[in-house]
Each structure stands twice: as C-alpha cells, then as structure tokens.
Amino acid sequence: MPWSLDPHHTSVTFSAKHLGVATVRGSFGQVTADLELDDPNDPTTGRGTVTIQAASITTGSEQRDGHLKSADFLDVEHSTEIVFTLKSIKRDGDNYKVTGDLTIKGVTKEITLDYEHSGSVVDPFGNTKVGGTLTGTINRSDWGLTWNVPLGGGGFLVSEKVKLEIDGELTLEKPAEAEPAAAEAAAGATA
C-alpha cells in the first residue's frame, strides 16, 4: 500500500558539536518520500525512498547555513538531494533497526538507524496515519564532508559525528480510481 509523507508533521533534524563544547542543531525543511507499507502495525513490511532537498538546510544562522550549502559541506549547487533508500527493517526488542543506503554528494554508504514505532491511528477526517522516530549517528567524513579547523589545544571546530533524528508521520494514500468510479455511477443513475 502506498503512503505519503505528511510534511506538516515530519521533521528531519541533526546536531553536531561546535568547539567540542556546544551543540548546534539544524533541520531540513523540504522532504518527500515514495514509501510502501503493507501493514501499518508492522514496520518490517516497509520499503521505499526518502529524498531531502539539501538546500533546505537551516540552523538559525544565515552565515552558517551558507557555509553548509557550500562546496565545503553539502555543495548544493552540484548535489541537490540527499537520498535514503530503505533496505531492511528488523525487530530489535520492542523497537526496530532500519538499514538503508544514504547518499550525500554522490557518495552512498549503508547506515543503520534505531526506529521507535508510534503505531497507527485514523484521524478525524478518516485518514489512516502511522508514525515513528528514527535516531542514529553518522560520521560525516564517510561522505566526504571533511572540512574542519584544528584547535590549538587539540580537537576540531566541528565534530565528525552528526546525530540524526527523524520524526515522521505517513498518510495512507486513497485510491484515485474510487472517485471517478463514484462519479460515473452517479452520472449513470441520472441518465
């Protein structure tokens, strides 16, 4: 069954250390998905792809955002999308492990994230919804994001480790053919 990502109830956020003492947080505002889920109560039946527009990055600092969009980091002029392609979802105790290929700047690496399933529900408008939270840590240099400045006392300006947190809400897509069929039936009844 096809599901669409609800952009109003989905967030893709990240955090990294600055100078080793402060945490800088950011997010991506433009995220789409092509997802299938056979059973909303069983995440292991999921498959698909999530696409993030790299230029939609924001950290609350225009100067920092500009640097992150530059060739030093995401190079959004030449690499417009960050793509996660799901390979498997496996139960891990009460939660799940989600494994997939993450592509940044043309480099693809397999990662595994922790997934906490929030369940499924029918909203007041009759739409079936499902949601959950993915978390994990990646090493940015694995994707060629190696820009940094060494500090005098040791360490670096920006941490290599980047924490990820993705909260997602999906909506079950309703079949498009149901509406034309109902319209045809109504038209046939009046003819």
Task: Look at 36 and 152; give whichever has higher pLDDT.
Answer: 36
The pLDDT, as a whole number, for residue 90 is 97
Dihedral class, residue 93 (left if φ above 0, else alpha if ψ from -120 to 50, else beta)? left
CATH number, residue 140: 2.40.128.110
Which uninterrupted H or E stretch holds 186? helix 178-190
The total of structural domains in the chain comes to 1
The pLDDT, as a whole number, for residue 107 is 97
Amino acid at 110: E
The pLDDT, as a whole number, for residue 188 is 55
| Whole-structure pTM value | 0.86
Which uninterrupted H or E stretch holds 66? helix 62-69
Q: Please give the residue range of the domain that contains residue 67.
A: 2-190
Instruction: Please report which confidence band the pLDDT of residue 46 belongs to, taking 50, 70 and 90 as the band edges.
Output: very high
Instruction: Please report which confidence band the pLDDT of residue 169 belongs to, taking 50, 70 and 90 as the band edges.
Output: very high
Please classify residue 189 by burial: count the beta carbons closer than 10 Å to its beta carbon, then call 0-12 exposed, 13-18 middle and 19+ buried: exposed
Q: Using alpha carbons, list the distances in angstroms from residue 133 to 114, 147, 150, 153, 188.
A: 8, 29, 34, 37, 47
Mean pLDDT of all residues in 159-180: 84
| 61-111 pLDDT, tens digit each | 999 999 999 999 999 999 999 999 999 999 999 999 999 999 999 999 999
Mean pLDDT of all residues in 125-140: 95
> Percentage of residues in the chain with pLDDT exceeding 90?
77
The pLDDT, as a whole number, for residue 151 is 82
The answer to whether 27 and 64 are in contact (CB under 8 A) is no
